[in-house]
Amino acid sequence: MTIRSILCALDLSQPEIDDRPLLVAADLARHHGAQLDVMTVVPSFGVGEVSSFFPEGYQDEAREAARERLVAHVAEVLGAEENARVRHEVAVGKVYREVLRVAEEAGSDLIVVGAHNPELRDYLLGSNAARIARHASCSVYVVR
């Protein structure tokens, strides 16, 4: 299997960011000489009534703030030199849908995602990692 492009999805919404997926993805990218793309997803503030509670442009501001945090975090974990070669992406919407969309658009050969400790609702609905693994058109590496 040739791996030319790896997409790593990070959850920046948690107080303590789990860096294991990023470290695994970076190691695999180095090993295979692959492009590393790192992404995060900002929830959509929607349209209609919900969006009216937020000031105009709030979604764009949230997306830009997430991008700045993503770039800074990747630089902190991987170092500035390696971070300069990473493509950073911030999507808006549902996590699993956006990860699948970005992977498809980027032509990713591998998606690396983290798994959290499952809650009861995850057994009923399925986690984002499970949904990504089920629906991805490429291989998925789930880091525990």
Average pLDDT for 82-110:
97
Place of tokens 């498809």: 104
What HEC string does the chain produce? CCCCEEEEECCCCCCCCCCHHHHHHHHHHHHHCCEEEEEEEECCCCCCCCHHHCCCCHHHHHHHHHHHHHHHHHHHHHCHHHHCCCEEEEEECCHHHHHHHHHHHHCCCEEEEECCCCCHHHHHHCCHHHHHHHHCCCEEEEEC
CATH number at residue 87: 3.40.50.620
Q: Does the pLDDT value for residue 76 go beyond 80?
A: yes
pLDDT tens, residue by residue, 11-69: 998 888 999 999 999 999 999 999 999 999 998 876 555 555 666 777 889 999 999 99
pLDDT at res. 30:
97
Q: Which domain holds residue 31?
A: 5-143
Q: Does the pLDDT value for residue 90 go beyond 80?
A: yes
- The distance from CA 98 to its chain's CA centroid, rounded to whole angstroms, is 8
pTM of the predicted structure, to 2 decimals: 0.88
Give me the number of domains the chain comprises.
Answer: 1
